Amino acid sequence: MPADTAFMDKLTALCKRRGFIYQSSEIYGGIGGFWDYGPLGVELKRNIKDLWWHDMVTNPPTGPDGHEVEMVGVDCSIIMNPKVWEASGHATGFADPMVDCRECKKRFREDQIWSVNLYIPGELDEDVFKKALEGARTLAFRIGVGHPIDSPGWVASSVADSVQQVIEALPALLRSAAKKLDRADLRSGKVTETRADSGRGLFRLALRGGASLLGVVGQGRQFLHEDKSRPRPCPECFGELTEARSFNLMFKTYVGAVEDASAQAYLRPETAQGIFVNYKNVLDTTRVKVPFGIAQVGKSFRNEINPRNYTFRSREFEQMEIEFFCHEADSMEWYEFWRKVRYNWYVNLGLKSEKLRLRDQGPEELAHYSKACADIEYLFPFSDEFQELEGVAHRGNFDLTQHQKFSGKDLTYFDDEAWQRDKDQFADDKDGEHRPPAGIGGEHRPPAGIDAEHRPPAGKEAGGTPTLPGGAAAPSRRRTPDEEKAAKNAPPYRFLPTVIEPSAGADRAALAFLCEAYCEDQAPDDKGAMQTRVVMKFHPKLAPIKVAIFPLVKKEGMPDIAQAIYKDAKKHVTAFYDDKGAVGRRYRRQDEAGTPFCITVDGDTLKDGTVTIRDRDTLAQIRVHKDQVVAWLKEKLAM
């Protein structure tokens, strides 16, 4: 599906006009990658965060074990000890390849630059080109070897999220290249026979007189035969780009009065590490037991080289993250659980179209420590490909292992319940004979979640020999305190838990809900004529304003009744009072704000005490007694 730039233009205009989202520091020309939320936007985003917290922490779901998930929250500082980022790998590995233009001085991520090559077709090239268009992708980039126009090198470059966006922009790109290269034939060429997949593109450029050139679109240098004496052109000015170099994405700052290396610190690039370094504190100060989760909502910062696509890729953003700690043997079951729970959360709040999907990452995408990872993705209008909304990752015990190593602190978890249940198998009776494990003469059930390698002894059949962990025969002598201590401090009783991480972005969620809610339909105006209206069809729980109250006219006591209803309603929900302009215009303003219900005090209210309640989506109107309005709203909003 091609990107819908017209839709994004309308949405961003609405967000500015109605106070959802503003450009940060706009009166000074703005600042790239930073956004402010206006009166409606802050309510929308707060509703998203509050619902997430309620559904994941305050009232968590029932887990696969049939018990309510145990979840607690933390709120960690934005600036942490720099050693945290050494342990997590961010200090050395959290970087993107960056190139600069030597002329216009603009900076780009190398992996976001798509380059265009044109070749004079030869006999072999034409045959390969046809096969490539038919689907033989592996042959595509042998086209034109030795037959470039003018001299080997790139013709044009573009910054884009996908090859399809470059294909769609080819006419404009080639016109710019023709002007720069002084090639009139390119300026009048027509792009035909295009083919594009996720990482490459082909096209033919038909020239006047019947001749044609073969075109290749791709990323990086690995598959195009480039003469390095002619560097790729800058996507903005066709100037020369530098060689790529690593660019760390963390914002640096200094703690204290002196700005030297000893005072250097960073704004956190993610909230997860604050949870990991406080994991032991949570264990020591609460009664949580594995499996359990720690949740956090908070700001993170990444110095993106090219922030773009409205609020989707920003330099300051807010995350909603859970680190869920469990036994390794149960980890895939918990992974599947969180994968499903988090996807359904978006569906239940209104992302029900074909634009939402759940995609499992392939083996080549996984981090070295991860068994599985699923991306909850949304097809935003600015892109022709699905983009990540949230990730659910099986992280193993990598993070706790790293922090244990770098801090020198013991971060293992001791399963006291399992030890109390099984400790008798490691003790002797007073006569010096080994006491058999619990379960001798019957089946011994290991602690839930313990893998086969570390299961406690299975005991023995009646008359058999007791066994120890690992299957060895139990000695008949009394076990020493050191041996008992060693058993107690080894798996399955003491271990580093495995982590499942559902990580969501509050800003990306807000943008997805805005995109999904935007709708244009037909509705009658004050005179009954059908007019196009813009309406934001938010789920009622997400709507920034839940109810608007209007007096039909500002006389006959109607404003007093409307004000009384408003004051009563706002004790329970976000309400808005409006008595300015025709009631039809007031409806339209609330439609654009996404308000699900509008209440009008009219002439009948003065007679029988009932008010009109109008539904945003269906435009249906019902009458409810003014004294029952709040109860009616609570029922509809499931409060």
Tokens in use for 265? Answer: 């610190």
Q: Are residues 128 and 154 in the same domain?
A: yes
Residues 425 and 399 both lie in one domain: no
**Residue 52 in tokens:** 């997430």
Task: Mark whether 286 and 352 lie in a shared domain.
Answer: yes
- Render the burial of 473-482: b for 16+ CB within 10 Å, e for the rest: ebeeeebeee
Q: Quick one: pLDDT at residue 457?
A: 43
**Cα 41 to chain center, whole Å?**
18
In this structure, the answer to whether residues 235 and 148 fall within a common structural domain is yes
Q: What CATH code is carried by the domain that includes residue 354? A: 3.30.930.10
Residue 257 lies in a domain: no
- Taking Cα atoms as reference points, which of 162, 181, 158 lies closest to residue 170? 158
Asked, for residue 83, whether it belongs to a domain, the answer is no
Domain boundary among 409, 434, 459: 409
Work out how many domains the chain is built from and give that number: 4
Q: Is residue 529 part of a domain?
A: no
The two tokens of residue 229 are: 């004496």
Among 353, 377, 409, the domain boundary falls at 409
State how far the Cα of 554 lies from the Cα of 568, in Å rounded to an integer: 20
Cα distance between the two ends of the chain: 39
506 falls within a domain: no
Max Cα separation, the chain? 106
Do 401 and 422 fall within a single domain?
no
Q: In this structure, what DSSP letter does residue 242 have?
A: P
Question: From residue 519, how far is each of 7, 156, 362, 474, 593 by CA, in Å?
Answer: 10, 38, 35, 72, 12
Clarify whether residues 468 and 549 are in a common domain: no
Is residue 65 domain-shared with residue 193, that is, in the same domain?
no
In the sheet that 156-159 helps form, which strands lie side by side, from edge to edge? Answer: 156-159, 113-119, 212-219, 200-206, 190-196
291 and 379 together in one domain: yes
- 176-218 per-position pLDDT tens digit: 777 776 777 677 778 887 877 656 777 888 877 777 777 777 7
Q: Which residues of the chain have pLDDT under 70?
A: 1-3, 93-96, 111, 120-157, 159, 161, 181, 185, 197-199, 219-232, 427-479, 639
Domain-located, residue 337: yes
Angle made by CA atoms 345, 351, 354, in degrees to the nearest 5: 125
Q: In which domain, by residue range, is 462 found?
A: 418-495
Domain with 553 in it: what CATH number? 3.40.50.800
User: What are the angstrom distances between the C-alpha of 322 and each of 78, 88, 239, 369?
Assistant: 17, 17, 45, 18
Report yes or no on 536 lying in a domain.
no
How do residues 419-449 score in pLDDT, each as one tens digit?
A: 888 877 776 544 444 444 443 333 434 444 4
432 and 380 within one domain: no
Q: How many C-beta neighbours within 10 Å does residue 602 have?
A: 20
**Is residue 552 domain-shared with residue 630, that is, in the same domain?**
yes
pLDDT of residue 152: 36
In a domain, 454, yes or no: yes
Question: Would you list the DSSP string of 53-108?
Answer: HIIIIISPPB-TTSSBPPEEE----SB--THHHHHHTHHHH-EEEEEEBTTT--EE
Query: Is there a contact between 534 and 593 (Cβ–Cβ < 8 Å)?
Result: no
**Model pTM score:** 0.77
Picking from 409, 438, 460, the residue at the C-terminal end of a domain is 409
Verify that 240 and 102 share a domain, yes or no.
Answer: yes
Indicate if 452 and 325 belong to the same structural domain: no
